[in-house]
């Protein structure tokens, strides 16, 4: 169920009773589908369908910043409903539904996404193959970013905080999905090398039903990506990269009075690295992500850099404390509009955060987190003379949460 209240103009609104009817119909279809899947799995004693999941409820308090007043709110931050079934000795099917931010279609709150639906073939630890909608391997945290009970954070490092996707460019910083992935491990003495290569759609996905089928790639390009890694004892490190072509800048063509094709198929490259290490009761993990979109004629560029590092300590088997630093830097330079000056923008988000998590039960994890955020925005006017406008702001976030596996 996506948007149940559709407006096709002021004189063509869907009546209220039709909205209710559509809502009930889609809800019933979803319920019957889930019951049918569960029933089918229960009938197979040899390979039963596993239905499980996890969720995280939080209370967050944000101090005032810019024009936004102080606020506090409870939230079902995230819920994942998972289905898994072994189809044979080497075959597994998996489906993952994700609900964010108190999802309610009727109230237009949050979002509901089909995150994964794939089948996996496992030949050996050296070679695995996934087909279908999947979360590709990129750096260390990307593949497990939605497993909130495994992570100590309430607010995750910004490139992976899906509940912030409405104002943080998550889909630009990380490859959201792929459709075929080969991966595995190669032992080398005490070390182990791992690899992953995948292919998927470019970011040019149709969301306009007036132009035909939605949810499909509107270009003849693909996303290509992969990761190479090394594991040695408690040390894990790797390098990741992706390449695709982006058409999102086409929307600027009319304002620039140029053809849309001049802003089509802009190469976009992501490069990432990750390092994690455990020693005694300490743990350390860090990552970086660099994203570049550039076009020479007309001159157009957008670069995103993200970095985080976390140092943690296990006081007991159940209690974990950590401190972390995050940096998200955005740089954009656009061609000068007709009769206007050319501008460049630099925006930084710097976060210092501390937190703790406590495993109250095997399936219940309590969390607390405090973050201090600094926003730096800089706008440079390059013509007719250089001028700089800079704004700075600081605010804090305090959060409590509970993560539950069921």
Q: What's the confidence (pLDDT) of residue 2? A: 33
Q: What is the pLDDT of residues 230-286, one digit of tens each?
A: 999 999 999 999 999 998 888 777 777 778 888 888 999 999 999 999 999 999 999
pLDDT level of residue 12 (50, 70, 90 thresholds): very low
Dihedral pair phi/psi, residue 93, rounded to 5°: -110, 145
Question: Measured between alpha carbons, how far is 396 from 375 in angstroms, rounded to an integer?
Answer: 11
Average pLDDT over residues 172-180: 96
Q: Name the more confident of 364 and 206.
A: 364
Q: What is the pLDDT of residues 361-384, one digit of tens each?
A: 999 999 999 999 999 987 766 555
Question: For residues 382 and 343, is the Cβ–Cβ distance under 8 A?
Answer: yes
pLDDT level of residue 11 (50, 70, 90 thresholds): very low
Q: What's the confidence (pLDDT) of residue 110? A: 93
- Tell me which CATH code domain 58-70+146-405 carries: 2.40.160
Q: What's the confidence (pLDDT) of residue 210? A: 84
Q: What percent of the chain has pLDDT over 90?
A: 67
Cis peptide leading into residue 384 (ω within 30°): yes
Q: Name the more confident of 357 and 27.
A: 357
Average pLDDT over residues 88-107: 95
397: pLDDT strictly greater than 80: yes
Question: Measured between alpha carbons, how far is 367 from 356 in angstroms, rounded to an integer?
Answer: 6
Token reading at 48: 């039963």
CA distances from 251 to 32, 88, 246, 254, 264 (A): 41, 48, 12, 7, 10
Average pLDDT over residues 301-312: 95
Beta bridge partners of 130: 120, 181
Assign residue 241 a region (left: φ > 0; alpha: ψ between -120 and 50; beta: otherwise). Answer: beta
Average pLDDT over residues 181-208: 94
Q: Please give the mean pLDDT across all residues of the chain.
A: 86
Which segment, 31-35, 249-253, 256-260, 304-308, is predicted with the most confidence on average? 304-308
Q: What's the confidence (pLDDT) of residue 260? A: 82
Q: Name the more confident of 324 and 297.
A: 324
4: pLDDT strictly greater than 80: no
Q: What's the confidence (pLDDT) of residue 354? A: 97
290: pLDDT strictly greater than 90: yes
Question: Measured between alpha carbons, how far is 60 from 367 in angstroms, rounded to an integer?
Answer: 12
Q: What is the pLDDT of residues 124-171, one digit of tens each?
A: 999 999 999 999 999 999 999 999 999 999 999 999 999 998 889 999
Full-model pTM? 0.85
């Amino acid at each position: 169920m996506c948007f149940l209240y559709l407006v096709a103009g002021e004189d063509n609104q869907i009546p209220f009773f039709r909205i209710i009817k559509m809502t009930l119909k889609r809800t019933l279809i979803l319920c019957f589908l889930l019951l049918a899947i569960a029933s089918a799995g229960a009938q197979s004693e040899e390979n039963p369908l596993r239905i499980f999941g996890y969720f995280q409820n939080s209370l967050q308090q944000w101090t005032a910043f810019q024009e936004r007043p102080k606020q506090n709110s409870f939230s079902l931050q995230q819920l994942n409903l998972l289905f898994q079934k072994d189809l044979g000795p080497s075959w597994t099917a998996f489906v993952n539904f994700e609900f964010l931010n108190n999802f309610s279609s009727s109230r237009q709150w949050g979002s509901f996404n089909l995150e994964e639906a794939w089948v996996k073939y496992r030949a050996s630890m050296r070679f695995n193959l996934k087909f279908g909608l999947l979360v590709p391997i990129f750096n260390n945290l990307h593949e497990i970013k939605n497993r909130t009970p495994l992570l100590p954070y309430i607010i995750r490092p910004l490139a992976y905080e899906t509940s912030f996707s409405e104002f943080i460019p998550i889909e630009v910083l990380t490859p959201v999905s792929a459709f075929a992935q080969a991966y595995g491990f190669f032992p080398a003495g005490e070390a182990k090398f791992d690899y992953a290569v995948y292919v998927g759609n470019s970011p040019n996905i149709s969301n306009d039903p007036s132009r035909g089928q939605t949810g499909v790639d509107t270009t003849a390009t693909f996303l290509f990506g992969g990761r190479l890694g090394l594991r040695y004892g408690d040390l894990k490190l790797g390098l990741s990269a992706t390449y695709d072509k982006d058409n999102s800048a086409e929307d600027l063509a009319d304002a620039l009075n140029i053809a849309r094709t001049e802003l089509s198929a802009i190469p976009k490259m992501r490069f990432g690295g990750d390092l994690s290490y455990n020693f005694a009761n300490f743990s350390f993990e860090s990552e970086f992500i660099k994203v570049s979109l550039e076009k020479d004629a007309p001159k157009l560029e957008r670069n995103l850099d993200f970095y985080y590092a976390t140092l943690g300590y296990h006081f007991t088997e159940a209690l974990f404390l950590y401190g972390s630093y995050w940096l998200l830097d955005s740089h954009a330079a656009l061609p000068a509009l007709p009769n206007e000056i050319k501008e460049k923008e630099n925006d930084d988000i710097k976060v210092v955060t501390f937190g703790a998590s406590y495993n109250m039960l095997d399936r219940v994890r309590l969390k607390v987190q405090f973050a201090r955020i600094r926003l730096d925005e800089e706008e440079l006017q390059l013509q007719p003379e250089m001028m700089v406008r800079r704004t700075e702001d600081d605010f804090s976030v305090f959060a409590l949460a509970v993560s539950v596996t069921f």
